[in-house]
Amino acid sequence: MRLDFEKMNGLVPAIVQDSKTGKVLMLAFMNRQAFKKTLKTKKATFWSRSRKKLWTKGETSGNFLEVKGIWTDCDNDSLLLKVKPKGPTCHTGKKSCFFKRVKK
């Protein structure tokens, strides 16, 4: 299996899901380096598009995401990370970054 980093200029979207509950926790992006570091450390590491650098989720808060498994979609251009969160995932302190409802 070979990930297609070319479709999005070196990035692939990574959906992060709680391995126990199935709840979607966040969406982030990975480049090759972030993907390799995630595989090596078993801690979710991403590419920050705004800061233009790698960041391991939890490196400042301590709320790491322990990776339990990684899946790719049928086109090999998106990832699903199933994780065990070590605290809230969102920087706001919420369990998930998806807590704002758009419309009923």
Annotated binding site: 73-75, 77, 90, 97
CA distance 55 to 100: 24
Annotated binding site for Zn(2+): 74, 90, 97
Alpha carbon of residue 19 to chain centroid: 13
CA distance 28 to 17: 12
Annotated binding site for Mg(2+): 73, 75, 77
CA distance 20 to 84: 7
